[in-house]
Chain A
Amino acid sequence: MEAVRNFYDSRHRLINGVTGFLIVFFCWEFASRSVDNEFFFVGPFRVAGKLLDLFVGGSIYPHLKVSGIEFFFGYTSAMFVGITLGIAFGISKMIREFLDPWLGGLYATPTVALAPLIIVWFGVELTPKIVIVLATAVVPIVLNTYTGVLNVGREFQTLASAFCIPKYKILFKILIPGSLPYIVTGLRLATSRAIVGIVVGEYFGSSHGIGFLLFKGFDTYDMPLMMTCAAILAGTGVVLNQGILIFEKRMAPWRDTSLQE
């Protein structure tokens, strides 16, 4: 008894975490068994089976590829645009004061609502999806980079100018490294938005992609397919988020960023 107690006390975090996960898992399975209608709700085992089917059968790879390309290009362009804009906002008081209301407005705007318009502008190929991902993912990156540059200690900049260090060096040696933890936070927050962007983009006309597959399931009442696609998208979100979070913790262990959005 004592041994069990000690074991629990030393590993309580892990044990409780696993228990919580199992509780949710079995509640889900139990709910699906009591509903017992494949067109309406399916359990985790059925989703896992479907997932295995899709991967072993190989039918999912073209969809994964298309969504992956959309994500990659959209996200990297959001990264470049967002970080550049964020640094411009942080450095120049002029830009900051003149464009702040636009940024605030953009933060509150549901940019996914622009998706139909972007489809109208760019057609139905890959380009509009990339633009939609860019539009949805760029805002948190700009905001966080901007906050990061503003939060770099004044004294470093004063020191640099006292030693007559040229401006571009201040940018690359002080401002960018100093704001890196914030930039990474912005990148992390952008991932889930980018995934929503992909799904919304693929909703408006596409022939491949995980979002397309989700809506194919929707149109054909294929609940296992729908839930599997939703699980893939959600799982990707969790994996990317946790992965970037590890970087963040390494870079700035003193900051608690888990609460920010």
Chain B
Amino acid sequence: MTELPQGNHEGTRNDSFLVLLKSGYEHNRLFINGFLSICLGIVVWEILDRRFNDKDFFTGPDEVIFAYINLFREGSIWEHIRYSALEGLYGFALAATVGIIIGGVIAFSRTLDEMFSPILIGLYATPRSVAAPLFIIWLGLGIASKVAVIFLASFFPVSINTTAGIKNVEGEYRMLGRAFNISRWAALTKIILPGSLPFLIVGLRLGYSRAVVTIVVAELFGSEAGLGYMIDRAAQTFHIAEMMVGISMLTLWGVLGNELLKFFERRATPYKESLGPA
């Protein structure tokens, strides 16, 4: 008789703990599942690596981590990081500035829009990084040719989205502004800029992911330094782990930059759902 309530008591405590655990899981399930999946993936990778164990053709996560530690301790990677980051930043900053200016100018003139938008949209669809070898001849093996290729890759999404964003601002708001006789400057900063901001940031985000991916293509066909150069050289000397370090580093840049821009997007336009792909 006395054992029953005790058992019950034990049971409820267990239950409440389980419930707590469960609600905690439900609350963070995306995060927990993602984390578990990454851990699981790394373990599977390591097992595969141990199973095949062919150092020239395959590599495991342990070796990649050692390669990370080695490269950073030895310090040779910094030069490549600096080079790639510089060309990425220059290319993207240039593309963002020029893209916003040209996209903005085109949006305000119907004639210009009809003249050049088809060309811009057509070029947006082309595999522009095939022009990388051409730029090496025009601008040399140095950083200028890479900046040009990255610029070309991320310019189009920025400019096209800027034009679309400005054209997308509802005419009613503009008319309202005109009815209240506000200045052109006020119309620009108070109506057009906020209205086109979501598109603009999506354009920047697309441009940014392209810039990061293009870093590799730009450096592949001939370079002095950089992560793409490092990846290529490591592959040719069968340092697969070192290659993975380069690739994962660029992935990290892509993910981090994208998250940062998404954060800005949410801050700038909390009322809008996110446009475009993740």
Residues of A at the B interface (CB closer than 8 Å) are 12-13, 16-17, 19-21, 23-24, 40-41, 97-102, 104-105, 107-110, 112-117, 119-121, 143-144, 147, 191-193, 195-196, 199-200, 203, 211, 214-215, 218, 221, 223, 226-227, 229-230, 233-235, 237-238, 241-242, 258-261
The answer, yes or no, to whether B29 is at the interface (CB within 8 Å) is yes
Stretch at the interface among B6-14, B114-122, B185-193, B264-272: B114-122
Interchain nearest-CB distance for B148 vs A (Å): 14
Say which residue of B115, B129, B212 sits within 8 Å of A19 (CB atoms): B115
Main secondary structure of the interface of B (DSSP, over half): helix
Residues in A with CB closer than 8 Å to B232 are: 116
Main secondary structure of the interface of A (DSSP, over half): helix
Interchain nearest-CB distance for B126 vs A (Å): 4
Contact between A21 and B127 (Cβ–Cβ < 8 Å)?
no
- With A227-B134, A259-B202, A261-B276 already in contact, the answer to whether A112 and B220 are too (CB < 8 A) is yes
Contact between B212 and A199 (Cβ–Cβ < 8 Å)?
no
- With A109-B250, A116-B232, A117-B243 already in contact, the answer to whether A24 and B127 are too (CB < 8 A) is no
A159, B221: Cα distance in complex, Å: 55
The answer, yes or no, to whether B258 is at the interface (CB within 8 Å) is yes
Pairs across A and B, CB under 8 Å, 25 listed: A16-B114, A24-B119, A97-B33, A98-B37, A100-B30, A100-B34, A107-B278, A110-B214, A110-B217, A110-B250, A113-B216, A113-B228, A117-B240, A120-B238, A192-B125, A200-B217, A229-B130, A233-B127, A234-B130, A237-B126, A238-B126, A259-B161, A259-B199, A261-B157, A261-B276
The answer, yes or no, to whether B111 is at the interface (CB within 8 Å) is yes
- With A98-B36, A114-B247, A117-B235 already in contact, the answer to whether A108 and B254 are too (CB < 8 A) is yes
Contact between A97 and B138 (Cβ–Cβ < 8 Å)?
no
Residues of B at the A interface (CB closer than 8 Å) are 29-30, 33-34, 36-38, 40-41, 56-57, 110-111, 114-116, 118-119, 121-123, 125-131, 133-134, 136-138, 157, 160-161, 164, 199, 202-203, 206, 209-210, 212-217, 220-221, 228, 231-232, 235-236, 238, 240, 243, 246-247, 250-251, 254-255, 258, 275-278
Residues in A with CB closer than 8 Å to B137 are: 40, 218, 221, 223, 226
Q: In the complex, which residue of chain B has the Cβ closest to the Cβ of A116?
A: B235
Residues in A with CB closer than 8 Å to B206 are: 261
- With A226-B134, A259-B160 already in contact, the answer to whether A200 and B114 are too (CB < 8 A) is no
Contact between B37 and A261 (Cβ–Cβ < 8 Å)?
no
Residues in B with CB closer than 8 Å to A214 are: 130, 133
Residues in A with CB closer than 8 Å to B199 are: 259
Contact between A102 and B41 (Cβ–Cβ < 8 Å)?
yes
Contact between A200 and B220 (Cβ–Cβ < 8 Å)?
yes
Residues in B with CB closer than 8 Å to A230 are: 130-131, 134
Say which residue of B29, B118, B130, B202 sits within 8 Å of A97 (CB atoms): B29
Contact between B133 and A226 (Cβ–Cβ < 8 Å)?
yes
Residues in A with CB closer than 8 Å to B110 are: 12
Contact between A113 and B247 (Cβ–Cβ < 8 Å)?
yes
Contact between A101 and B38 (Cβ–Cβ < 8 Å)?
yes
Residues in B with CB closer than 8 Å to A259 are: 160-161, 164, 199, 202-203, 275-276
- With A196-B127, A237-B125, A258-B121 already in contact, the answer to whether A105 and B255 are too (CB < 8 A) is yes
Contact between B277 and A147 (Cβ–Cβ < 8 Å)?
yes
Residue from B57, B125, B161 with most neighbouring chain A CB atoms (10 Å) = B125
Residues in B with CB closer than 8 Å to A24 are: 119
A31, B275: Cα distance in complex, Å: 39
Residues in A with CB closer than 8 Å to B134 are: 226-227, 230
Q: In the complex, which residue of chain B has the Cβ closest to the Cβ of A121?
A: B57
- With A97-B29, A196-B217 already in contact, the answer to whether A143 and B278 are too (CB < 8 A) is yes
Contact between A12 and B114 (Cβ–Cβ < 8 Å)?
yes
Contact between B126 and A99 (Cβ–Cβ < 8 Å)?
no
Q: In the complex, which residue of chain B has the Cβ closest to the Cβ of A244?
A: B125
Say which residue of B213, B240, B278 sits within 8 Å of A112 (CB atoms): B213
Interchain nearest-CB distance for B4 vs A (Å): 39
Q: In the complex, which residue of chain A has the Cβ closest to the Cβ of B37?
A: A98
Q: In the complex, which residue of chain B has the Cβ closest to the Cβ of A219?
A: B133
- With A97-B29, A114-B247, A223-B137 already in contact, the answer to whether A199 and B130 are too (CB < 8 A) is yes
Interchain nearest-CB distance for B125 vs A (Å): 4
Q: In the complex, which residue of chain B has the Cβ closest to the Cβ of A20?
A: B115
Q: In the complex, which residue of chain B has the Cβ closest to the Cβ of A95?
A: B37
Contact between A192 and B243 (Cβ–Cβ < 8 Å)?
no
Interchain nearest-CB distance for B156 vs A (Å): 10
Contact between A238 and B125 (Cβ–Cβ < 8 Å)?
yes
Interchain nearest-CB distance for A9 vs B (Å): 12
Interchain nearest-CB distance for A242 vs B (Å): 7
Residues in A with CB closer than 8 Å to B221 are: 203, 215, 218
Kindly list the 3 A-B residue pairs having the minimum CB-CB distance in the complex, ordered from nearest.
A108-B254, A20-B115, A116-B235
